[in-house]
Amino acid sequence: VAISIVIGFLVGAVASFGGRLVDGTVMRFVDLAMTLPPVIFLLVLASIAGTGIAPTILVISLLSWPVLSRMVRARLLELRERDFVVAARGMGAGLPHLLFRHGLPNCIDILVVYATLQIANAILLEAGLSFLGLGIAPPEASSGNMLN
């Protein structure tokens, strides 16, 4: 969940502060990632990555970031027009300063709520993958392995 939050925040931040061309390109990529059927995409990625804890974490993280990036982008598009961000930009603040000093504190509510909801989703996805034999290997404890 933490990996997907980092990816989602960075993609949404780059899209919102990057300008019109970057925003359009990044958001079309996010739209493409959102249109893929999640279960089929999850099974394909899991079969490519293999079994184990690290590949399962990577597969679940790669599946759950697009929705967060759209929410972060919407918040930062609204935020970049606020007076304190315009003043910081006028005083010469760079993009990393704007993102981590102003953007991240104003997006923390979205990130916390999304992380809370995604933990349950990640548990269900891991249990499904382990039940099918594509997740965590059987000597390790897993909900999907216990169902077998």
Instruction: List, for residues 88-122, the tens digit of each pLDDT value.
Output: 889 988 888 888 898 899 999 999 999 999 999 88
In this predicted structure, what is the pLDDT of residue 108?
94
User: Are 71 and 12 a contacting pair, CB within 8 Å?
Assistant: yes
Mean pLDDT of the chain: 86
Q: What is the mean pLDDT of residues 122-146?
A: 78
One DSSP character per residue, 40-94 reads HHHHHHHHHH-SSHHHHHHHHHHHSSHHHHHHHHHHHHHHTTSHHHHHHHHTT--
Decide which of 3.40.50.1820, 1.10.3720.10, 1.10.390.10, 3.40.50.300 is the CATH code for 2-147. Answer: 1.10.3720.10
Q: Which pLDDT does position 57 carry in this prediction? A: 83
Rounded to two decimals, what is the model's pTM?
0.84
pLDDT digits (tens, 9 = 90+) for 23-60: 899 999 999 988 888 778 888 877 887 777 888 888 88
> Quick one: CA dihedral 70, 72, 74, 77, positive or negative?
negative
Look at residue 75 and tell me whether its pLDDT is greater than 90.
Answer: yes
Given a contact cutoff of 8 angstroms between Cβ atoms, the answer to whether 134 and 41 are in contact is no
